[in-house]
């Protein structure tokens, strides 16, 4: 099977994060075991999602991890010109949900299993396929915990997120938080006799932007934008136009420079909300409150140009420059578990999560050429 055909097979699995990924994991495991891989799974609490870790080559420590997530973001409400789960090639571009993020990399790597199986590997090549990356890098933590428990120690990891095959050695960390604004119901004709949670939410969101403004002076020019960011992304609340809302919910995120302390951002938001917004509403209703819960967090990837992962990627690509990106990946988790990581994969992040997501066929070809060099290096 050609690399393109295998990528198409993976796209055809609807692995949107809200559903199961087991059908794709079964498919990938069958290919890996056919090539002689030793496979292990780690599951989420429901048993409906799984990570897959597979090893080819000699036993023992070391080796290169080829890492990719199996889940994709939803297509709901997006205006696609073709079925997102029936991939199509048009004008040298492969269209489909996950084409670049990141089934292009995973499919290309799996396509090379016959070459890996036939190589005289001096060190192992591992595959790490995770669940729920798109909802906060959730699954990879379970995978890495399993490796730690089994004392499996790869030498480095290549994370195949879309970078246009450029070498990325740093990314911001981030988190998803939900703040519940608790008010008191009443008739909208008498706003001072209740606490309108929707209005509380509006002031809270304005405060988030103000906190981001405070962070702007602390910069790292390698990133775009060069400062840590804070913003609301989803808001829900209210039941009727003439009722003061009892509750509203603000989903927000921060993305921080990787060697900064994110706890300071959360503390600043909470302290300012308590001091600047809450007193007004508590004068109207003692029960008014802001309750913030952390739903997901992923660490940043700190630049280390001397790490074996970056040295390998530069050697195999000839790249003179190592870049930094604002989006998050699983690489920070690998680094935190003591596994040096680098990001390099086909496609552009600008196409990820959009309608008519695509990956250029030339990018898949470049990825295949790179991974063939990884196999050759593992054979020396």
Three-state secondary structure along the chain?
Answer: CCHHHHHHHHHCCCCECCCCCHHHHHHHHHHHHHCCCEEEEEECCCCCCEEEEEEECCCCCCCEEEEEECCECCCCCCCCCCCCCCCEEECCEEECCCCCCCHHHHHHHHHCHHHHHHCCCCCCEEEEEECCCCCCCCHHHHHHHHHHHCCCCCCEEEECCCCCCCCEEEECEEEEEEEEEECECEECCCHHHCECHHHHHHHHHHHHHHHHHHHCCCCCCCCCCCCCEEEEEEEEECCCCCEECCEEEEEEEEEECCCCCCHHHHHHHHHHHHHHHHHHHHHHCCCCEEEEEEEEEECCECCCCCCHHHHHHHHHHCCCCCEEECCCCCHHHHHHCCCCEEECCCCCHHHCCCCCCEEEHHHHHHHHHHHHHHHHHHCC
Contacting residues for 64 by C-beta, under 8 A, at least 6 apart? 123, 124, 125, 126, 154, 155, 156, 157, 158, 312, 374, 377, 378
25-34 residue pLDDT tens: 999 999 999 9
Of these residues, 9, 71, 134, 357, which one is catalytic?
A: 71
- Binned at pLDDT 50, 70 and 90, residue 59 comes out as very high
Q: Is 133 a residue of the active site? A: yes
pLDDT score, position 313: 98
All domains in the chain, ordered by first residue = 3-170+300-378 (3.40.630.10), 173-298 (3.30.70.360)
In this predicted structure, the answer to whether residue 38 has a pLDDT above a threshold of 80 is: yes
What is the model's pTM?
A: 0.92
For residue range 273-309, what is the model confidence (pLDDT) as tens digits? Answer: 999 999 999 999 999 999 999 999 999 999 999 999 9
Q: Is 26 a catalytic residue?
A: no
Report the distance separating Cα 242 and Cα 210, nearest Å.
30
Residue 229: per-residue pLDDT? 98
Q: How far apart are CA 171 and CA 316, in angstroms?
A: 21
Peptide bond into 225 cis (omega under 30): yes
How much is the mean pLDDT over the chain?
Answer: 97
pLDDT at 1 over 90: no
Share of the chain above pLDDT 90, in %: 99
Q: Tens digit of pLDDT for each residue in 204-234?
A: 999 999 999 999 999 999 999 999 999 999 9
pLDDT tens digits, 82-114: 999 999 999 999 999 999 999 999 999 999 999
* Residue of 9, 101, 132, 133 marked catalytic: 133
Question: What is the CB-side half-sphere exposure of residue 159 using CA atoms within 13 A?
Answer: 27
Residue 374 has pLDDT above 80, yes or no: yes
| pLDDT classification of 187: cutoffs 50, 70, 90 | very high
């Amino acid at each position: 099977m050609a690399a393109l055909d295998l990528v198409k097979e993976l796209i055809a699995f609807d692995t949107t994060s809200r559903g199961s990924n087991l059908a794709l994991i079964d498919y990938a495991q069958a290919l890996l075991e056919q090539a002689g891989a030793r496979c292990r799974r780690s599951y989420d609490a429901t048993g409906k999602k799984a990570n897959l870790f597979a090893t080819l080559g000699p036993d023992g420590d070391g080796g290169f991890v080829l890492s990719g997530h199996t889940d994709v973001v939803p297509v709901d409400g997006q205006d696609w010109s073709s079925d997102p789960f029936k991939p199509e090639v048009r004008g040298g571009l492969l269209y489909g949900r996950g084409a670049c993020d990141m089934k292009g990399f995973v499919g290309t790597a799996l396509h090379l299993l016959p070459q890996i199986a036939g190589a005289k590997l001096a060190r192992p090549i591992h595959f790490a396929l995770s669940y729920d990356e798109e909802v906060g890098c959730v699954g990879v933590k379970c995978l890495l915990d399993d490796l730690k428990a089994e004392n499996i120690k790869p030498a480095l990891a290549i994370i195949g997120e879309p970078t246009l095959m450029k070498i990325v050695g740093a990314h911001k960390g981030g988190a998803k938080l939900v703040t519940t604004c608790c008010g008191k119901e009443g008739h909208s004709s008498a706003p001072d006799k209740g606490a309108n949670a929707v209005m509380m939410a509006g002031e809270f969101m304005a405060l988030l932007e103000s906190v981001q403004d405070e962070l702007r002076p602390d910069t790292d020019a390698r990133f775009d934008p060069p400062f840590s960011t804070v913003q609301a992304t989803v808001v829900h609340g209210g039941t009727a136009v003439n009722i003061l809302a009892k509750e509203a919910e603000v989903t927000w995120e921060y993305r921080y420079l990787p060697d900064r302390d994110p706890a300071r951002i959360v503390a600043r938001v909470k302290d300012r909300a308590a001091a600047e917004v809450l007193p007004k509403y508590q004068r109207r209703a003692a029960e008014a409150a802001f309750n913030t819960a952390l739903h997901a967090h992923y660490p940043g990837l700190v630049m280390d140009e001397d790490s074996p992962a970056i040295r390998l990627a530069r050697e195999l690509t000839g790249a003179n420059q190592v870049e930094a990106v604002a989006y998050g990946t699983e690489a920070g988790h690998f680094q935190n578990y003591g596994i040096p990581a680098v990001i390099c994969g086909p496609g552009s992040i600008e196409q990820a999560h959009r309608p008519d997501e695509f990956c250029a066929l030339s990018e898949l070809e470049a990825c295949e050429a790179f991974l063939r060099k990884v196999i050759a290096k593992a054979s020396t």
